[in-house]
Every structure is written in structure tokens, then in C-alpha cells.
């Protein structure tokens, strides 16, 4: 199928709760809202799914690794969260972002995919890859599901039903983005590295 059809089915599936093995887009608990942005974050991702988990208390929740990751995420990605929270009139500690890359069977899986996943990880700390039916079957046969640092969801081939094929639980909170740019410039200058150096070329 075409990518736009896969996208439509996936969005429908998220809202209907038709993703087998899914615990991150779940709306079973009360107070959970799902917002989906098509071509989200300056058109860098096919979709950006935002989960808003509302709660009345103001206590800091520290009951799991996920809650720890959530607070580190607030420190690392404050600008994105504040902008979204202002728009949705909610608290920033209620929000979780999930960038989604879709690959239909019409798409070729080429060297752009690692860059897209890395971009998602550096921007939001995680990545979700949604594969069409044939791509899902090939990925299972070749045993590459656990080699990709993304949660992979596959289309089952029936109606709007998907299944989680592999889960990448690690939430990335550090990276090149976290470097102090002034300190980096001072370090480069102290070592006499300028824009004509081989480091830049």
C-alpha cells in the first residue's frame, strides 16, 4: 500500500487501541489524551504522537524508570514541551512525545532509515518505526528487529490492526545536542582548530 494509506490506518489504529502489545499509546486509563501531528516537527517526521497523561496531584512521581526518564526529558527538551503545553493548556510533566517513521511496502528501506531514526532519538529521545506487512515479515525473517534502536510496529494485513514487533526501552537523554557550545568553541580555539581545519571538512 502507499504511505498515506499506511499512515491513515496507523492513526486509526492508535485511536481505536488496535496495536497488539502496545503499552505506550494506551488510553485505557482515564485522563489520557492522544494528539497526533502529521508531518510533525518541521516536517522531519511522518507523525509525532503526543500522549497527555493528566493527573490532579502536583507531587513528583518517581515510581519507575519511565517516570525518571520523563523528568530528565523535561530538562533536556524544555522548549518543545513548553510550546506544546501552552497550546494544549496542560502541564509539561504530563506530556510524552513519540516520533513515528512509516515505511510502506512501496517504500525502499535504504540508508536514509538510520538517519531518520537517529534524528528522532536526538530530537525526542526515542523512535518508533512502523512497517507495512511485507517489510514486517522480512524484518522478522532476517532477525534484524532487535538491531534497530527503535520500537518497531508492524501491520498485520487486516483492517487497522498492528502489532508491536520489538521494543527499544532505553530513553536517550544525552547526545551531541547536550554539549555546551561555548565550551566546545573554546576547546576548538585552544587547540588551534578553525573552520579551514580537516575537522570541518
Percent of the chain topping pLDDT 70:
77
Q: Could you tell me the three cell numbers for 129?
A: 518505526
Distance of CA 86 to the CA centre of its chain: 21
Q: Could you tell me the three cell numbers for 180?
A: 555546551
Task: Give the C-alpha separation, 101 to 7, whole Å.
Answer: 10
Residues 6+ apart with CB under 8 A from 145: 139, 152, 165, 166
Query: Please, is 10 exposed, middle or buried when counting C-beta atoms within 10 Å of its C-beta (0-12, 13-18, 19+)?
Result: buried
User: 80-84, 94-98, 121-125, 176-180: which range is least confident on average?
Assistant: 176-180
Phi, psi of 56, rounded to the nearest 5 degrees = -85, -30
| DSSP category for residue 132 | -
The model's pLDDT over 125-163, given as tens digits with 9 standing for 90+, comes to 889 999 999 999 999 998 888 888 999 999 999 999 999
User: 1-5, 92-96, 162-166, 176-180: which range is least confident on average?
Assistant: 176-180
pTM, whole model, 2 decimals? Answer: 0.79
The model's pLDDT over 34-71, given as tens digits with 9 standing for 90+, comes to 999 998 776 789 999 999 988 776 655 555 555 666 66
Domain residue spans of the chain: 3-174
- Which is it for strands 47-53 and 32-38: parallel, antiparallel or unpaired? antiparallel
Phi, psi of 52, rounded to the nearest 5 degrees = -110, 110
pLDDT of res. 124: 87
Task: Give the C-alpha separation, 71 to 88, whole Å.
Answer: 19
Amino acid at each position: 500500500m502507499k504511505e498515506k494509506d499506511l499512515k491513515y490506518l496507523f492513526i486509526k489504529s492508535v485511536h481505536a487501541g488496535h496495536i497488539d502489545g502496545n503499552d505506550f499509546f494506551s488510553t485505557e486509563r482515564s485522563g489520557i489524551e492522544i494528539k497526533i501531528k502529521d508531518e510533525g516537527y518541521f516536517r522531519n517526521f511522518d507523525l509525532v504522537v503526543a500522549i497527555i497523561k493528566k493527573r490532579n496531584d502536583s507531587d513528583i512521581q518517581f515510581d519507575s524508570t519511565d517516570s525518571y526518564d520523563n523528568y530528565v526529558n523535561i530538562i533536556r527538551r524544555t522548549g518543545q514541551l513548553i510550546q506544546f503545553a501552552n497550546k494544549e493548556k496542560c502541564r509539561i510533566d504530563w506530556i510524552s512525545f513519540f516520533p513515528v517513521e512509516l515505511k510502506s511496502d512501496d517504500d525502499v528501506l535504504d540508508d536514509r532509515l538510520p538517519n531518520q531514526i537517529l534524528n528522532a532519538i536526538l530530537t525526542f529521545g526515542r523512535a518508533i518505526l512502523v512497517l507495512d506487512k511485507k517489510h514486517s515479515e522480512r524484518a522478522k525473517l532476517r532477525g534484524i528487529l532487535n538491531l534497530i534502536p527503535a520500537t518497531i510496529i508492524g501491520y498485520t494485513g487486516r483492517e487497522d490492526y498492528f502489532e508491536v514487533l520489538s521494543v527499544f526501552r532505553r530513553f536517550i537523554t544525552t547526545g551531541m545536542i547536550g554539549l555546551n557550545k561555548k565550551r566546545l568553541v573554546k576547546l576548538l580555539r585552544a587547540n588551534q582548530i578553525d573552520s579551514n581545519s580537516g575537522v570541518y571538512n
